[in-house]
Amino acid sequence: MTIKNILNMIISFFKNILNKKKLFIKIGISLSLLASTVIAVSYLFNMIEKFGPSGETKEKTAIFVQFSLPVKIVKDKANGFHFFKITPAIEGSYEFPDERTIMFVPAEPLRPSASYSVTTDLAYIKSKKKIFGKTFTFFTAPFQLLKSSVFFTYHPVTGIEREAVAELDFNYPVEHAELLKFISLTIEGSPAVFRLENSVSAGRYYIKTAAPERENKTKEMSLMLREGLSCIDGVNPLAASKTIKLVVPKKDLLEIEKTEMHYAEGFSLVSILFNYPVASENLQNNISIIPELPFKIETEYRYAVIKADFLPNIEYKISIAKGLESRGKHVLSANYQRNIRIKDRDPEVKFADQASLVPLRGQLNLRYYAVNLDKVNFSVFKIFKNNLVPYLRSSHEKWLYGQEIDSFEKAITGELNVKNYNTINLSEYRKSQYTGLYQIEIRDNNYHYNRDNSTFLVSDIGMVSKRFGDDG
């Protein structure tokens, strides 16, 4: 009696019960009878309770079946013995962990992307009860493209696309020559030349081609990976084709992002920031400055620097002609004009001499300079003798250590935006009846922090002037 016969008998039994009266009572009876039948089947027959593997499995695995009752292995010493019929065939050996289990251990890992079928061969298996065999299937992970990406590499100076790269990541490695047969690359529908590179990571490959030049419209690149590609030692090939696309941007225009004026005494320049690097000789032939003056151009990456004797408070018009090309052949599409003006330098006042000995005879002058000021103010302080040490050590306001004995104002004449030098005469302080340390301060009354001070000593040998902050 086969399993099929037993199942047919159970189904017929239920049909008869359901066609009679007292349905619910008889269903209970039928369930009891079914349980009894299952127990009877288990007692009368030796059936496979467990088996494996099933579904997707790893490449290193064992194949096994476990019977409901003990079995006895009969070995044919002449012909060997096989308990499983495995398709495709696998080399390996059998093990018997217990009296109910038969296990087959493959000698090598299972083949990638392969489907296997196992049928128990009962020719060498004996049991006190009738044995029922089984057929089951399993498979290793199908060969597939796990991930793909496309990107450009760029020129380090021009920023233009240099190479288009497609990265393919498979779950199994592929022969280099085999992969070449199943990939193709087109640019705007036309075949393109490419090269294939293997990665140090198994299963990863790079398809590279020179990036096409940008034009006034975008271009589409398509990489086709066709179905039928097989991995190394694989059984089932790639199930579906895949197309990977990359768009080459249209050609950018040359643009001017920022223009700035910089000025210091004896030094002035205009900096122009482009969106792409420009050669100095190209810019020299396409730029003009009004009012005219000699100028020199230097470039540094995307910056162009125009050096000239620009003067403050004069408006200059800088013009750059359309058609100017960057190093990467990007073109300025329209004329560019910018009016710039150098503002005056911030007011400044300083003593010019850091330290000097003022003799008993002579002019006894102390030099100072002022920038963009009409007048400066002076104060003279006599430092108290008991404050000499803290005064010399302190970096704070020096007048805190003495008393103001004089103050006056001086008019400044000269040019704008340059250091206008003048002197102050200290001879009257030499005549002072008090020898000792004095501080003189020069300042701009309109701005608190625009000030400077110097210290001078009235002594029997003359006067010593010392400017604090620079030489101790």
- CATH at residue 288: 2.60.40
Domain end among 226, 248, 270: 248
pTM here?
0.49
Please check whether residue 417 lies inside any domain of the structure.
yes
End position of a domain, from candidates 105, 140, 175: 140
Considering the domain architecture, whether residues 224 and 238 belong to the same structural domain is answered as: yes
3-state SS class at 399: helix
What's the confidence (pLDDT) of residue 265? Answer: 61
- 451 and 405 assigned to the same domain: yes
Q: Looking at 287, 309, 341, which one is the last position of a domain?
A: 341
- pLDDT value of residue 63: 96
Residue 304 lies in a domain: yes
The total domain count for the chain is 5
Q: Is there a domain that residue 55 lies in?
A: yes
Are residues 363 and 462 both part of a single domain?
yes
- Does one domain contain both 390 and 324? no
| Residue 135 lies inside a defined structural domain of this protein | yes
Q: Are residues 72 and 134 in the same domain?
A: yes
Q: Provide the pLDDT for residue 471.
A: 40
Same domain, 237 and 310: no
Print the domain residue range for 25: 3-46
Quick check: is 69 in a domain? yes
| Beta strand residue intervals within 92-241, DSSP E | 92-95, 101-106, 115-120, 125-126, 130-131, 135-140, 145-154, 161-170, 183-187, 190-191, 195-198, 204-210, 219-225
Is there a single domain that holds both residue 442 and residue 354?
A: yes
Q: Please tell me whether residues 95 and 204 are part of one structural domain.
A: no
- Asked if residue 261 and residue 329 are part of one domain, the reply reads yes
Here the CATH number for the domain that contains residue 134 is 2.60.40.3710
Residues of the chain with pLDDT under 50: 1-2, 21-27, 29-31, 33-38, 77-78, 356-360, 463, 467-472
- Say if residues 13 and 33 touch (Cβ distance below 8 Å): yes
Question: What does the pLDDT read at residue 17?
Answer: 56
Between CA 71 and CA 80 the distance in angstroms is: 18
Output the pLDDT for position 173. Answer: 96
What integer pLDDT is reported at residue 14 of this predicted model?
Answer: 57
Residues 352 and 461 in one domain: yes
Largest Cα–Cα separation, the chain? 146
What pLDDT, on the 0 to 100 scale, is given for residue 261? 81
For residues 358 and 390, membership in a common domain is answered with: yes
Q: Is residue 60 part of a domain?
A: yes
What strand order describes the sheet that includes 365-371?
A: 348-351, 365-371, 420-425
Judge whether 472 lies within some domain: no
Q: Are residues 368 and 457 in the same domain?
A: yes
78 part of a folded domain:
yes
462 forms beta bridges with 459
**What is the Cα–Cα distance from 165 to 47, expressed in whole angstroms?**
58
What pLDDT shows up at residue 388?
A: 80
Contacts of residue 153, defined as CB under 8 A and 6 or more positions apart, other chains included, come to: 161, 162, 163, 165
